[in-house]
Amino acid sequence: MNSRTPVADSRIRMIGFDADDTLWRSQDYFDQAQLDFERIVGGYVDLRDARLHERLYEIEKRNIGIFGYGVKGMVLSMIEAAVEITGERISAADLHRIVELGKDLLRHPVEMLPGIPEAVAQIAAEFEVVLITKGDLFHQEAKVRQCGLADLFQRIEIVSEKDTQTYARLLRVFDLPAQRFVMIGNSLRSDIAPVLALGGWGIHIPYHTTWAHENEAEIAADAPRLRRVDQAADLPQAVRELAKVAAGVK
Note the pLDDT of residue 216: 60
Neighbours of 85 (CB within 10 A): 20
pLDDT bracket for residue 171 (50, 70, 90):
very high
Contact (CB, 8 A) for 6 and 119: no
Res. 22: pLDDT tops 70:
yes
**CB neighbour list of residue 161: distance below 8 Å, 6 or more residues apart:** 69, 134
pLDDT bracket for residue 54 (50, 70, 90):
confident
pLDDT bracket for residue 212 (50, 70, 90):
low
Note the pLDDT of residue 11: 93
pLDDT above 70 as % of the chain: 91
Res. 14: pLDDT tops 50:
yes
Note the pLDDT of residue 248: 84
Note the pLDDT of residue 135: 85
Of 204, 167, 163, nearest to 64 by C-alpha is: 163
Note the pLDDT of residue 61: 87
Strand ranges, E, within the chain? 14-17, 128-134, 155-159, 181-185, 201-204, 226-228
Q: pTM (2 decimals)?
A: 0.89
Res. 45: pLDDT tops 80:
yes
Query: What is the chain's mean pLDDT, rounded?
Result: 90
pLDDT bracket for residue 56 (50, 70, 90):
confident
Q: At CA 25, angle to CA 131 and CA 214, rounded to 5? A: 70
Tell me the C-alpha distance between 194 and 183, whole Å: 10
What number of residues does the chain have? 250
